Amino acid sequence: MPPTSRPSPARPHPRPTTTQPRWRTLRATPQRRPRPIPEQRSPFVNGPFWPAPLESEAQGSTPPIELPLRGPDGSRRDGTDERFVNRELSWLAFNDRVLELASEPGVPLLERAKFCAIVSTNLDEFFQVRVGALKDQIAAGFDRPTPDGRTPAQQLEDITAHVPDFVERLDSTFVDDLVPALADAGVEIIHYAELSTEEIVALDRWYEERVYPVLTPLAVDPGHPFPYISDLALSLAINVADPDTGDRRFARLKVPNVFPRLVEVAVGRFLPVEELIAAKLDTLFSGMIVEEWTPFRVSRNADINLEEDEADDLLEAVESELRRRRFNKAVRLEVAHDVGPELLALLVRELELTHADVTYHRSLLDLSCLWDLMAIDRPDLKDEPWPAVTAGRLAAADDADRPIFDVMRHRSILLHHPYESFSTSVEEFIKQSADDSKVKSIKMTLYRAGGDSAIIRSLIRASERGKQVAVLVELKARFDEAANVQWAKQLERAGVHVVYGMVGLKTHSKVVLVVRDDGDRLRRYCHIGTGNYNAKTARIYEDLGLLTCEEAIGDDVLELFNHLTGYSRSVDYSTLLVAPRDLRRALLDLIEHESSFGPDGHITLKCNSIADPELVEALYAASATGTRIDLLVRGICCLRAGVPGLSENIRARSVLGRYLEHSRIYRFSHGNLIHGERVDGAHSDALHMMGSADLMPRNLNRRVEVMVPIENPRHTEWLDQAIEFGLADDVVAWELQPDYSWARIGPTNAFEPHPQERMYHWTVERQTGSTGTRSTD
């Protein structure tokens, strides 16, 4: 039978054209001083929607202050503006804080080894991206200083001065502290000379069967040029001599990654595979004398130089650049600390580096291999597991065999990963959307999807079942470009409408839009998050997400996707803040509005990085009015905290632990007060927002980011609790000092109480109840 009534359209009511969103209203409040905002427009092919990126110059009127700060050689660098910390040096300070975790007495030994692996990988990426970019700028003659006053050459000089000391601290932590402690606990990382006779016999057989057949020595002589050394590949540099003629030759031997880096020769005894290979070099250079050998490793510039506006096919252009990136210039050479001068000189010359680009190591090169130790069955040497819980209302719906859409229609759901399960919430939302016959379309952004992705499988299944599926795959997500290219191709083969983002911008937002026919009307179900749709990182990254069916949010998300996947002109979002269009201006207005309340004002910002000069200046101005400012910043912080006359009302704290703090929460204690009255629909004076954007120029100027206000009192209470745990006086954390150093606070003989542990137990109690029964709250 034909339906007795037709479902209403996806947008049941026309978008209001007269009501101004609160961000516009704030700009008209009498408390704020008018500030001109440039209204530049960009000629992007998608239409005049985004303002052109604004490169903030941080040219405030406050004169530079004198602080007891020194450069790497102990002297103050002339011309620096000490209101700002250099971004690259701030990042090195962050990696130093991570390294401190490897020495924490309250952290189990294998977890401490894992932090050494993380530090090593972080340093690799720093050289590939940041040092590589600085070298490019210097080669291009670019000498414009950063807000702290350093030119690219000066930044590179300071990095070069800092890194050797950092590498030595990493080596000391691993070689002098962790290796003996692990050995005492029954996990040994040994040298070849420490092998027993029985172990050597077993290794000889394994070498002959599994290693020797895949080794390829490459000689360098007049007929064989110096071979290409791939990025981050572990190699051996070898000098051999002919005993008859006395001729000496150099050879390079790559250590393949087709077998384990750490070979378990007996239970709990691990030998680095390069030592085994080095002991067997005579099998590769038969009849020759192996005079010396040393391990080495090369880091190459990992930047992709893509002229998007000149690319006819963005997918093809990214693939081409990925192939070209393999041959980018070398930026760092890692060698053993006892490398011979002849081998070192040859490597430096052939790689077109200088001795300043070399780092010397007492430990293994590339400590990322220490991740392998986490597979050891030694729970006594690892963190006690914190099993993720399912949000109470989702668990109750699952028990009652009700779809997730029923729950979302009644009230939005705030998610907090990894304390709450990603698979039973976000993945389940996409899975049910793919399988539900009432769902008509699915749209989402993908920045980093990871490996075997349940979400990708759900999207493919949805398309195969005839649903309209559109996915914006960000091909320019650094170090995930190749994976995203493959996902894009796979989705296209399944009939998914795939788009690749916008010219000149990265799409960094985390948004899903599902349109479902509920019988009475079409409804929009949305997810907006702070983290990627990646199941692997969702287990170790602390992130927030909002599942909602709120009409105003659905309206805004629909408009966002209409622009991202098609053509549209500028619109005023009623609820969302979208970068680069509105976010910068709104944050500046909110900061200035909060500062109008003086000492009664309070701003709390939780993010990964703060590096935008204009936002930093605005926070300094707010501090000058007496407004309290609390910052929870995991990584880069270019702002000074607690400096008299500049930022005495600003406190900056960094929380590091078993999870990588990744959520962004922005809270303004009077953000919902306009002309002394609370805005319509607000439940408190305070405004809470969460989303994908950090306070960096790239996020505010060159990325598509989405922030959403959180208004449900239960949800704002949750955000307040997360902030409270992070800012508590008695917890383990690091605080930024007036001299720009970071001081470890909290108990020094234990790694507790810790904000993440408190958050986990609070979440479990909140979602399951103190007796262990599930809560429907």
d(CA 562, CA 287): 70
Residue 343 is inside which H or E element, if any? helix 341-350
Whole-number Å distance between alpha carbons of 563 and 570: 9
Nearest C-alpha neighbor of 500 from the set 482, 488, 513, 512: 488
Q: At what angle do helices 755-768 and 392-399 cross, to 10 degrees?
A: 40
Residue at 162: amino acid letter? H
Q: Which residues are catalytic?
A: 508
- Give CA–CA dist 7/53, Å, rounded: 42
Q: Which tokens belong to 427?
A: 């993945």
Convert 110-161 into a string of H (helix), E (strand) and C (coil): HHHHHHHHHHHHHHHHHHHHHHHHHHHHHHCCCCCCCCCCCCHHHHHHHHHH
Question: Taking a C-beta distance cutoff of 8 angstroms, is the pair 568, 49 a contact?
Answer: yes
Report the C-alpha gap between 330 and 101 in whole angstroms: 30
Write out 369-412 in H/E/C secondary structure.
HHHHHHHCCCHHHCCCCCCCECCHHHHHHHHCCCCHHHHHHHCC
Beta bridge partners of 252: 218, 237
Sequence length of the chain is 777
Which residues, in sequence order, are bridge partners of residue 678? Answer: 673
CA separation for the pair 417, 404 (Å, rounded) = 18
Residue 401 backbone dihedrals phi, psi, to 5 degrees: 60, 40
What is the DSSP code (8-state) at residue 53?
P
Check residue 63 and give left, alpha or beta (phi > 0: left; psi -120 to 50: alpha). Answer: beta
What CA–CA distance (Å, rounded) separates 369 from 379?
19
Distance CA 551, CA 523 (A): 8
Six-digit token pair at 520? 């009475």
Buried b (16+ CB within 10 A) or exposed e, 291-307: eebbbbbbbbbbbbebe
Cβ(427)–Cβ(535) below 8 Å: yes
Whether the bond into 580 is cis, omega within 30 of 0: yes
| Residue 64 per-residue DSSP state | P
> Could you give the CA distance from residue 421 to residue 417 in angstroms, rounded to a whole number?
6
In 3-state terms, what secondary structure has residue 431? helix
CA dist 700 and 697 (Å) reads 5
Q: What is the CA radius of gyration of the chain?
A: 28
Cβ atoms within 10 A of the Cβ of 400, count?
9
Nearest to 155 by CA among 183, 172, 135, 171: 135
Dump strand ranges (E) for 432-569.
Answer: 439-446, 468-473, 497-499, 506-507, 510-517, 522-529, 541-548
